[in-house]
Amino acid sequence: MSCSVSDFGKDYIVYDIKGITKEELESKLNLFFSSESLILKSETADEKIFQKGNKWLRIFFGVFVKYFRINVSIVSKDNLFSVRLYRNMNFAMSGGLMGLKASRKEFERINEAFKIYFSN
């Protein structure tokens, strides 16, 4: 299995993963995000949403309440999977300026952990 970054931006990153089946990839994604304390909130055929914390408490109390959400979409083409991690956090959900900075830092930390996890 190999994992490489194919595209990135401020709020998203796309990894190309090959040498793995779709079932193995989904299993590894679920294991990775559960190890990062992000639980699966919703799932469709090509997108999963993982989150940590309570969205409404975060909006009301701001940065004092932990909340983080990440969307994961999977596109497959032959033996290549493109996995897109997207930080879906607007200003209110982030808890203001301090929360926005914290959510970006958390997104960067998860990206680094993702690269290490899928490179081994």
Domain of 67: which CATH number?
Answer: 3.30.530.50
What's the CA gap between 15 and 8, in Å, rounded? 9
**Structure tokens of 22?**
């779709």
Q: What is the pLDDT of residue 73?
A: 95
Tokens 């990440």 appear where?
Answer: 70
CB contact at 8 A, 13 and 31:
no
**Residue 38: what are its φ and ψ, rounded to 5°?**
-105, 120
Domains: count for the chain: 1
**Structure tokens of 84?**
């897109």
Question: Sorting pLDDT into bands at 50, 70 and 90, what band is 92?
Answer: low
Domain extent, residue 20, equals 2-119
CB contact at 8 A, 65 and 58:
yes
pLDDT, tens only, 3-53? 888 888 888 999 999 989 989 999 999 999 999 999 999 999 889 999 998
The reported pTM is 0.84
